[in-house]
Structure 1
Amino acid sequence: MPPQQGSPTVRRLRLGQELRLLRERRNLTGAKAAAELGWSPSKVSRVEAAKTMPSVDDIKALAKLYKLDEGKVDELVGLLRDAEQRGWWEDYEDALPQEYTRFLGLEAEATYQRNWEPQLVPGLFQTEEYAREVILATRGIARITHSGVRSRVEARLDRQRRVLHRPDPGQMSVVLDESALMRRFGEPSVMRAQMEHLLEVSHLAHVSVRVLPLESLHPINTGAFIHLKFTGFDDVVYLEQLYTAHFVEDLERVAGYETAFDHIRSKALDEDESRVLVQSKAMSWRR
């Protein structure tokens, strides 16, 4: 089955969330529901956490226990069918870390993305040559094969087409540290082309790009993070490190990242001033 445009990752999470809410409305614990159905308690928790996909028979058994009407059952089965579809990112599963593919699945349905990047140009805005140099820079440490480098570059470009340039793109607000515009990946010509591309992207109606200048007092000591917002679903923050990546889903901590981003953005140059700075960096790479 070909990959779809939406996000089965989000639909799996929504299905699990809906099943949990339906159980709680019947005042049933996970253990009690499992006992009534003859399931293990872990199966109920894994289904609700979207770690295990239920079958249609599972949905119907839950519906009977929760005393759902036929319309609600059809809605849940439809959500299950959508969740079973393939996402475009699954074509790259062999080359990408598992947590990153989950991030791509969430990003595909995010309505708003807020990204603080202190080290390099974000992947959504990278040129093919810059992306290749960034991946090559960590190839030895991360033990990425030649074919793996190629697949990761292809995945990054595919991500840009499907997220940045989709017909109904979500809003994006990005703040880069000025040092990200100065740190060289590849030849100066690669950097110059990347700065020029960043300028082009900054003019997209749904994109805001701001730069935190080096002369500014550093507003907060934190690494890169991406804050995703959804319609009808809780916000998520994605953090990526050298060998691992993880998600922040606790609402209080997510709110902390939201406050942090707002603070960083308040100290950055505005969009027009940022474009002037990016243009000056492009000129400086003409050597």
Structure 2
Amino acid sequence: MSQNVTGTTMLRRQIGRKFESLRKVAGLTMDQAAERLDRARATLHRIENGAEHVRFRQADVQQMLDLYSASSEDRELLLAMTAATRENKNWWHDYFSSGLPRWFQLYVGLESAASAIRQYQPELVPGLLQTRAYAEHVFTMPGSPISLGDNTEQNRAVELRVERQGLLTRFAAPQLSVILNEAVLRRPVGSAKIMLEQLHQLLKATELPNVTVQILEFSAGLHAGAMSGAFSILDFPQGSGGEVLEPTVTYLDTTTGAIYLDKPRETAAYNAIWTDVAGRALNESRSKAMIHRIAEEYSRA
């Protein structure tokens, strides 16, 4: 895995916010700007949202800067930033040439740039902690983001998932905090052997200083996670003066796409859900004991 933590993902998000700010200062709606630039509104939307696959041609950037009456400082900065996107390539790009969904590409970039990741999962072990055999079964299910029956795509998806796991042991690895519903441990994915291997993988992961796993027992009763479903909250490194360089992002994925939330009220809502679920879950030591206990049950199956 590349040691360049941010790659172009965070850079593109910064470019997008800068262009959005310039457009609004210029008093233009996205529709108005698209019309004057003779570009599709969807293209401007992708630029302002930091989409990975947008190509910043210098002539197009200059046209936008002219329309927005950008200052010389902003012009110099954005020309340099957009030029940088043409020179860098993130390690995961090659995986997306085989049919894996582009909407997931942004998440992989954000995950690679995060300083802390919090994940609640009611149904499955998160991808960063899955064994290869467990992942192979997940990608054969209807609703998987890749085509059923396409072994090439499934193999590439599994390889990407395994490659992503190097994130947890790299230099300056993010803090990963995971809360799993008890159902994740008890509902078999594949055989008892696969589940036993998976639970051992969970326990091994908790030996890392930057990984914690908590279990939300059935007996915890109704909890806020029951309303939200699975989600991931990603926090990013601060600047040298402690300033926020990138807003917290909450990621929700679906069968056909993904949702990225970063408005303060959205972040506050999911932080409140996380606090509720974490407060009801077993602590780390009791969670490990439960994983051990259920692993023993699979070993006797």
Instruction: Give me the TM-score of the superposition, normalised by structure 1.
Output: 0.85
Matched residues in 2 for 1:149 and 1:44: separation? 32
Does the 8 A contact of 1:238 with 1:247 survive in 2?
yes
Q: Which among 148, 156, 160 is matched to residue 151 of structure 1?
A: 156
- Please point out which of 180, 183, 196 is paired with 1:179: 183
Q: Select which of 270, 279, 287 maps to 1:274.
A: 287
Structure 2: 5+ residue stretches without partners: 238-244
Instruction: Give the SS at the match of 1:115.
Output: strand
How far residue 28 of structure 1 moved from its aligned partner, in angstroms, is 4.0
Q: Distance in 1 between matches of 2:80 and 2:101?
A: 29
Listed one character per residue, the Cα deviations across residues 98-148 of structure 1 (whole Å, up to 9, x for unaligned) are 221221122111222110001111110011111112222448995241122
In the alignment, is the contact (CA less than 8 A) between 2:7 and 2:109 conserved in 1?
yes
Match of residue 242 from structure 2: none
Give the structure 1 partner of residue 124 of structure 2: 120
Percent identical residues: 26
* Residues 43-54 of structure 1: pairs in structure 2 closer than 5 A: 46-51=46-51, 52-54=54-56
Determine the structure 1 residue equivalent to 2:247: 234
| Alignment-mate amino acid for residue 191 of structure 1 | M
Distance 1:75 1:267, change over 3 A: same
Q: 1:171 to 1:82 in 2, by over 3 A?
A: farther
Deviations along 1:216-257, one digit per CA (max 9) or x if unpaired, are: 213122311111122412222221233443223443223211
Unaligned runs of 5+ residues in structure 1 are none
**In 2: Cα distance, 1:41 partner to 1:149 partner:** 33
Q: Pairwise CA RMSD of aligned residues?
A: 2.9
Change in Cα spacing, 1:38 to 1:157, as seen in structure 2 (3 Å) is: closer
Please name the residue that 2:80 is paired with: 78
Q: Give me the whole-angstrom Cα distance separating, in 2, the residues matched to 1:260 and 1:152.
A: 30
Cα pair 1:7 1:106 within 8 Å, conserved? no
3-state SS in 1 of match to 2:139: helix
Deviations 1:131-183 (A, max 9, x none): 1122224489952411222111101001111x222211122211001110111
Could you tell me how far apart the structure 2 residues matched to 1:30 and 1:211 are? 47
Query: Which whole-Å CA distance do the structure 1 matches of 2:85 and 2:106 have between them?
Result: 13
Other-structure match for 1:29: 28
What code does the residue aligned with 2:113 have?
A: E
- Count of paired positions: 282
Q: CA deviation at 1:62?
A: 5.1
TM-score norm. by structure 2 comes to: 0.82
Aligned to 2:297: 284
Partner SS, residue 94 of structure 2? helix
Contact 2:37/2:64 (CA < 8 Å) preserved in 1? no
CA contact (8 A) 1:95 1:151 kept: no
1:224 partnered with 2:226: no
Deviates more, 1:95-104 or 1:136-145: 136-145
Matches within 5 A, 1:76-115: 76-84=78-86, 85-93=88-96, 94-115=98-119
What's the CA shift string for 1:189-238, capped at 9, x where partnerless? 11111111101111211112111012221312231111112241222222
Query: Aligned partners of 1:194, 1:66: CA distance in 2, in Å?
Result: 54
Are the aligned partners of 1:47 and 1:53 in contact in 2 as well (CA < 8 Å)?
A: no
Using the alignment, how far apart are the partners of 1:230 and 1:275 within structure 2? 28
Task: Give the CA deviation at 1:56.
Answer: 2.5
State the alpha-carbon separation in 2 of the partners of residues 132 and 74 from structure 1. 47
What is residue 205 of structure 1 aligned with on the other side?
209
